């Protein structure tokens, strides 16, 4: 049994250093190449039977590429949505007040993003963790290989759940598009592909 947890490929907003939580932008050419490399890794290393995916269009685009040859079913799970960055959604990092960014950097896991976006309140990675933890509990004893495709915030939540670090260790954690979390026999590893 293996659980493979990955993010979508690089998007336009990622490339432009814009906040992208519940807002969306498509994969870049680099993001498509990253996804194809991920697809090759997954196909060679695992026998994926089922995908769990976020409903975000960038994740659906990633899933289509990953599933080209496998042709396996997917469950769209709304618990896998990225954190809402509130009034920061779609904004360039350079547009955010410096003191707010500094506050966020001091405790990224608990920082609650201010304001709203399309009626949805800004959230924190801690809140996201509480939302997605039940899914991790449901699948951690699966008897088949599963792949989760989601977002950076979900990767942070997965790292917290499976690696069990202290919250302050999460503050400096950044998981790149070319990194995946793999759990085999209850042993987690962070792999760069």
177 counts as catalytic: no
The one catalytic residue among 8, 113, 152, 177: 8
How many Cβ atoms from other residues are within 10 Å of residue 188's Cβ? Answer: 16
Tokens standing for residue 24? 């969306």
82 noted as active-site residue: yes
**CB–CB of 86/116 below 8 Å?**
yes
CB-CB contact of 60 with 81 (8 Å): no
Q: What is the C-alpha to C-alpha distance for residues 186 and 111, in angstroms, rounded to an integer?
A: 30
User: Active site residue: 16, 82, 127, 151, which one?
Assistant: 82
List the beta strands (DSSP E) in the chain.
2-7, 48-53, 74-76, 116-117, 120-121, 145-150, 179-184, 187-192
143 Cβ neighbours under 8 A, 6+ residues apart: 1
Q: Which residues are catalytically annotated?
A: 8, 82
């Amino acid at each position: 049994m293996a659980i493979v947890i990955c993010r979508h490929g690089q998007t336009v907003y990622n490339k432009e250093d814009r906040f992208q939580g519940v807002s969306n932008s498509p994969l870049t050419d680099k993001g498509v190449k990253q996804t194809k490399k991920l697809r090759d890794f997954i196909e060679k290393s695992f026998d994926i039977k089922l995908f769990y995916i976020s409903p975000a269009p960038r994740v659906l685009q990633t899933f289509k590429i990953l599933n080209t040859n496998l042709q396996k079913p997917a469950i769209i799970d709304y618990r896998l949505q990225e954190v809402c960055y509130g009034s920061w959604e779609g904004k360039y990092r350079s547009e955010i007040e410096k003191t707010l960014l500094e506050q966020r950097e001091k405790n990224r896991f608990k920082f609650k993003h201010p304001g709203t976006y399309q009626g949805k309140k800004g959230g924190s990675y801690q809140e996201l963790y509480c939302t997605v933890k039940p899914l991790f509990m449901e699948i951690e004893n699966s008897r088949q290989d599963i792949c989760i495709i989601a977002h950076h915030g979900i990767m942070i939540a997965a790292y917290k759940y499976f690696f069990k670090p202290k919250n302050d260790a999460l503050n400096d954690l950044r998981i790149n598009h070319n990194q995946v979390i793999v759990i085999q026999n209850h042993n987690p590893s962070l792999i760069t592909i």
